[in-house]
Structure 1
Amino acid sequence: MRIFARYKKRIMSKISTQKAPKPVGLYPHARKVGNLLFLSGVGPRVAGSDATDSEVPGLKLDKNGNFIEFDFEAQCRSVFDNVKVILEASGSSWDQLVDVTVFLVNMKRDFHTYNRIYAEYFKENQPCRTTVEISSLPTPIAIELKCIATID
Structure 2
Amino acid sequence: MGDVIQASTAPKAVGSYPHARRVGDLLFLSGIGPRDPVTDAIVGNEYSDDGRVRKYDIEAQTRAVFANVRAVLEASGARWEDLVDVTVYLTNMTGDFSRYNAVWKEFFPDAITAPCRTTLGITALPTLIAIELKCVAAPQE
Question: Taking structure 1 as the reference length, what is the TM-score of the superposition?
Answer: 0.85
2:25: which partner in 1? 35
d(CA) in 1 for partners of 2:38, 2:27: 21
2:93: which partner in 1? 107
Task: Using the TM superposition, give the Cα deviation of residue 48 of structure 1 relative to its aligned residue in structure 2, in angstroms.
Answer: 4.2
Aligned with 1:92: secondary structure? coil
The answer (yes or no) to whether the contact 1:104–1:134 under 8 Å persists in 2 is: yes
Q: Does 1:65 align with 2:51?
A: yes
Q: Which runs of 5+ in 1 are unaligned?
A: 1-7
1:121: which partner in 2? 107
| Cα shift readout 1:19-61 (whole Å, capped 9, x = no counterpart) | 1111011100000001100000000001145xxx5x0111122
d(CA) in 2 for partners of 1:140, 1:120: 25
Structure with greater proportional helix content: 1
Quick one: which amino acid aligns to residue 37 of structure 2? A
Report how many residues are paired.
Answer: 138
Larger gyration radius, structure 1 or structure 2: 1
Q: Which runs of 5+ in 2 are unaligned?
A: none
Quick one: which amino acid aligns to residue 74 of structure 1? A
The answer (yes or no) to whether the contact 1:18–1:48 under 8 Å persists in 2 is: no
d(CA) in 2 for partners of 1:48, 1:25: 17
Aligned with 1:102: secondary structure? strand
Quick one: which amino acid aligns to residue 143 of structure 1? I
> Which ranges of 4 or more aligned residues in structure 1 deviate by more than 3 Å?
none
Alpha-carbon RMSD across the aligned residues, in angstroms, is: 1.4
| Cα shift readout 1:47-82 (whole Å, capped 9, x = no counterpart) | 145xxx5x0111122342322342111001100111
d(CA) in 2 for partners of 1:37, 1:113: 28
Question: Taking structure 2 as the reference length, what is the TM-score of the superposition?
Answer: 0.92
1:4: which partner in 2? none
Q: Does 1:86 align with 2:76?
A: no
Quick one: which amino acid aligns to residue 118 of structure 2? T
The answer (yes or no) to whether the contact 2:53–2:128 under 8 Å persists in 1 is: no
Aligned with 1:27: secondary structure? coil
d(CA) in 1 for partners of 2:20, 2:53: 31
Quick one: which amino acid aligns to residue 100 of structure 1? V
